[in-house]
Amino acid sequence: MSYSKVDNYNEEITGKLMTSYRDVLGALGEDPDREGLLKTPERLAKAMQFLTQGYHLDAKAIINSAKFHEDVSQMVIVKDIELYSMCEHHMLPFFGKAHIAYIPNGWITGLSKLARVVDVFSRRLQVQERLTVEIMNAIKETLNPLGVAVVIEAKHLCMMMRGVQKQNSVTTTSAFDGEFQKDSTRSEFLKLISADLH
């Protein structure tokens, strides 16, 4: 019995991307018909669709799918959320972790939904600065909390593999709204995401 993998991809998009990637391989001086490269255009076409699936996802709908009325107003933090994205300038990956907090104002959402929101926006061609703000805005506009905070720490392969080739640099971006614009609240959040509480 032979192995058969079932994938769900848009066949039209896959075909167009495969043609383009064959041309790219040829332009780089490779032979697209070489055994090791025969399936590379198809693999790339499917990989790119997977890595950019966030264009077809709705962050607000995800949060609303598990939105609950709860009379609490204490800070909720989900930290160390893994993220993988693609730099829109060089289409090379950047990866790291996101830390999210919000202060409920009558509504909470399932904790996993915050991680899914990170995926929605990271699975697009991105810059880290915009990614940080988009995550914050989706939570703000859906839950209407008293405040939202997002901090992202990431390594960028466009800095590590090419250009300045700095292997140990980490980029940190932050976005704060509402109560997190106050020094005391922001400081509490930053202290908690820095603490090793596990």
The verdict on residue 26 lying in a domain is yes
Does the annotation mark 87 as catalytic? yes
In terms of DSSP bridges, do strands 93-103 and 147-156 run parallel, antiparallel, or are they unpaired?
antiparallel
Kindly compute the dihedral angle of the four CA atoms of residues 129, 188, 82, 93, in this order, to the nearest 10 degrees: 20
The verdict on residue 2 lying in a domain is no
Please state the φ and ψ torsions of residue 162, each to the nearest 5 degrees. Answer: -140, -175
Does the annotation mark 56 as catalytic? no
Q: What is the pLDDT of residue 3?
A: 47
Nearest one of 124, 119, 134 to 81, comparing CA atoms? 119
State whether 98 and 43 are in the same domain.
no
Does the annotation mark 88 as catalytic? yes
State whether 84 and 24 are in the same domain.
no
State whether 154 and 181 are in the same domain.
yes
State whether 143 and 102 are in the same domain.
yes
| Residue-level length of the chain | 198
Of 53, 153, 158, 188, the catalytic one is 158
Work out the average pLDDT over 18-30. 98
State whether 183 and 88 are in the same domain.
yes
134-192 pLDDT, tens digit each: 999 999 999 999 999 999 999 999 989 888 888 789 999 999 999 999 999 999 999 99
Query: Is residue 7 over pLDDT 70?
Result: no
78-135 pLDDT, tens digit each: 999 999 999 999 999 999 999 999 999 999 999 999 999 999 999 999 999 999 999 9
Mention every residue, 6+ apart, whose C-beta is less than 8 A from residue 144.
105, 106, 107
State whether 19 and 110 are in the same domain.
no
State whether 44 and 63 are in the same domain.
no
Of 70, 82, 89, 129, the catalytic one is 89
